[in-house]
Every structure is written in structure tokens, then in C-alpha cells.
């Protein structure tokens, strides 16, 4: 167990189970980042504990948990001292501590890891965690779910999860605006999209995956015998909107590589999905692809408390 910064220790599972050493170091909080929750038996109530289930694999998503882990670590440092550990204290716990130091010290990823290595030279976050730390740095060391980089990161992890397991974890899906209407009062800042046929709410604009416009029909020339198709460029219009998964899609997305997306109320066809990717009408290739056709949905905007709702078709 090594002291990395004031009131912040990095260790392994054996360190975390040595209650006498924890008490000697005046540790009050224990953060476990491991595949199994720590069992301290009768001493469990001695420490405030947090468990983050995570495998030491490149596809494991730690990024989404960095903020909450950092808050727990900061609380522990203020109230006593905190131990962050995984199985060996090399990859998972080191990545979480690096993220915390990046946030509170305003350090870069390299600076945070170099600081930790000065105390514990053998730390080695896996390649996936390194990429997540760099993305965390690019977002200002706060998880911003509205950022296109984060949305793409989430989608790629879901696609990898589907590839490995044949299923996806719907707990990371965007919330259904029909089940959870906006209660923040900021409805004017976020457009709502509804089924054009039955008016059922489907998703909000912060679920949209923006993409660079392709070069139009020239991208589809391999379909045609004559070679290159008609022009493209900036005048190309997309006929679909690509989104992150929303909870009402969970049943459709489970267990199959591709399929149709139907309105959960009227059963009308809204679009399609393909975990291997699909081509937009503008020619851009989107991977993975969850697309809803613009002619099947309406955009609804609230123009203010004294203004009518505007429907954009």
C-alpha cells in the first residue's frame, strides 16, 4: 500500500483486507475497482466503502465511472484517508487514481501517471483505460454525455459488448422521454422528437449522433454499372437521424445484429439498426448504426414559457 498524495493510497486486494494496516494509516474510505466485492467480514462497518465492478480488460468502461469515483475519493481524503485498490494495484485502481488527480490537480494524463509512477513504478493501465483517460482529459476531466466523443465511445463499447456477448447492457441507454419527461425546466434548450403517426415521444436532441456529411451519390457508385454517380458535397441532405440507443429500443436491439425499429406505441416503422454499421443517404458510413427516418418523425421545440410549441417537419 503506497501513499500517492496526501490521504490517498494505492494498493492491491491483500492491502485492502489487512484491517490492522488500514487502521494504522487512518483509512476511513475504501474504493474497490475489481471483479469481486471486498469481504471484510466483521470489520465491514469500520470503513465507508464503494464497489465498482470492473474487469482488467481494454473493453471495460471505467470512463463513465470516473466522476463518481473521484467524488468518493475526495470525500475520503477530506474525512480521513482513502485506499483505492484492485486485484494487484497495477491497472484499474491506477487508472481511477489518475483520473482523480487529473480532475483535482488539473493535470494532464501523462502528468498524473508520472506522479503515481514516482511512488509505484509498476503501474500499467491497459490500453483501453489509457484511451479513456485521454478522452477524459479532452473533455476537461468531467464526463460530458452531450459530447459527440463520449457518445461515440459509448456506442463503440456497446458494439463491442454485442460482439463478445451477443447482448447489450441497456442500463447505459438514454432515458425514454415518454417515461421520463424533462423536469429541469430547460425544455427550450433540447428539442423533442416524436413519432409522426401517433405522436409518441421517442428521443431528445441530446441523443443525436452527429456525423460528417458524405459525398452523396458518388459513395454509392459501386452499386451501379456506370461507375460514379451524381455529384455530392455540401448540398447533400441526410434522410435519417442517427442516435444513441434509447431504453424503449432495448427489446429490438437484443440478440440480433440488425433489424427494424418500430414505434413502441403504434408499431409503425421508424428506422433500422445494425451493430456492424450502415450507410447514411449522404454517403457517410456510421458504425454502429441506429437510424430513424426523418419522414417518420417530427421535431418539437418549446419556444419559451409564453410561446407556442413549434413542430418542425
Q: Identify the pLDDT of residue 310.
A: 52
DSSP string, 160-219: HHHHHHS---GGGSBPPTTTS---SS-GGGS-EEEETTT--EEEEGGGB-------GGGG
State the chain's mean pLDDT as an integer. Answer: 86
Q: Identify the pLDDT of residue 307.
A: 46
20-56: per-residue pLDDT in tens? 999 999 999 999 999 999 887 666 678 999 999 999 9
**Could you state, in order of their start, the residue ranges of all structural domains in the chain?**
2-143, 172-312
Residue 185 half-sphere exposure toward CB, CA atoms < 13 A = 1
Residue 219 known to be catalytic: no
| Residue 167 confidence class, pLDDT cut points 50, 70, 90 | confident
List the beta strands (DSSP E) in the chain: 2-5, 8-11, 29-34, 48-53, 82-85, 192-195, 201-204, 240-242, 258-262, 269-274, 278-279, 285-286, 289-293, 297-302, 309-312
Q: Using CA atoms, how far apart are residues 183 and 48, in angstroms rounded to an integer?
A: 32
Q: Identify the pLDDT of residue 199.
A: 96
Interval 303-309 mean pLDDT: 49
Q: Identify the pLDDT of residue 69.
A: 98
Q: Identify the pLDDT of residue 188.
A: 45
68-100: per-residue pLDDT in tens? 999 999 999 999 999 999 999 999 999 999 999
| Residue 262 confidence class, pLDDT cut points 50, 70, 90 | very high
Interval 294-299 mean pLDDT: 95
243-261: per-residue pLDDT in tens? 999 999 999 988 888 999 9
pTM, two decimal places:
0.72
150-165: per-residue pLDDT in tens? 888 888 888 887 877 7
Cβ-contact 82, 30 below 8 angstroms: yes
pLDDT surpasses 70 at 292: yes
| Residue 186 confidence class, pLDDT cut points 50, 70, 90 | very low
CATH code given to domain 2-143:
3.90.190.10
CA of 52: how far to CAs of 58, 161, 276, in Å?
A: 16, 18, 30
Q: Identify the pLDDT of residue 14.
A: 94
pLDDT surpasses 70 at 305: no
Which of 69, 86, 109, 263 is catalytic? The answer is: 86
Amino acid at each position: 500500500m503506497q501513499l500517492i498524495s496526501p490521504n490517498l493510497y494505492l494498493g492491491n486486494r491483500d492491502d485492502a483486507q489487512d484491517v490492522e494496516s488500514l487502521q494504522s494509516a487512518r483509512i476511513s474510505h475504501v474504493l474497490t475497482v475489481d471483479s469481486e466485492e471486498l469481504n471484510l467480514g466483521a470489520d465491514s462497518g469500520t470503513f465507508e466503502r464503494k464497489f465498482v465492478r470492473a474487469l482488467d480488460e481494454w473493453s471495460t468502461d471505467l470512463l463513465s465511472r470516473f466522476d463518481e469515483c473521484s467524488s468518493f475519493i475526495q470525500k475520503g481524503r477530506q474525512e480521513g484517508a482513502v485506499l483505492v485498490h484492485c486485484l494487484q494495484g497495477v491497472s484499474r485502481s491506477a487508472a481511477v487514481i489518475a483520473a482523480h488527480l487529473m480532475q483535482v490537480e488539473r493535470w494532464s494524463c501523462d502528468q498524473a501517471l508520472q506522479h503515481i509512477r514516482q511512488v509505484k513504478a509498476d503501474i500499467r493501465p491497459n490500453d483501453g483505460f489509457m484511451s479513456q483517460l485521454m478522452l477524459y482529459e479532452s473533455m476537461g476531466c468531467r464526463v460530458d454525455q452531450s459530447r459527440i466523443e463520449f457518445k461515440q465511445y459509448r456506442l463503440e463499447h456497446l458494439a463491442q459488448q454485442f460482439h463478445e456477448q451477443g447482448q447489450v447492457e441497456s442500463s447505459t441507454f438514454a432515458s425514454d422521454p415518454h417515461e421520463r419527461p424533462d423536469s429541469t425546466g430547460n425544455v427550450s434548450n433540447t428539442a423533442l422528437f416524436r413519432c409522426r403517426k401517433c405522436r409518441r415521444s421517442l428521443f431528445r436532441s441530446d441523443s443525436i449522433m452527429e456525423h460528417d456529411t458524405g459525398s452523396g451519390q458518388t459513395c454509392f457508385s459501386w452499386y451501379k454499372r456506370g461507375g460514379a454517380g451524381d455529384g455530392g458535397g455540401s448540398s447533400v441532405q441526410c434522410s435519417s437521424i442517427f442516435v444513441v440507443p434509447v431504453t424503449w429500443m432495448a427489446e429490438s436491439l437484443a440478440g440480433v445484429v440488425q433489424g427494424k425499429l418500430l414505434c413502441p406505441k403504434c408499431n409503425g416503422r421508424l428506422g433500422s439498426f445494425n451493430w456492424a454499421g450502415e450507410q447514411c443517404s449522404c454517403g457517410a458510413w456510421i458504425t454502429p448504426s441506429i437510424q430513424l427516418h426523418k419522414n417518420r418523425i417530427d421535431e418539437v421545440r418549446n419556444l419559451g414559457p409564453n410561446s407556442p410549441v413549434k413542430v418542425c417537419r
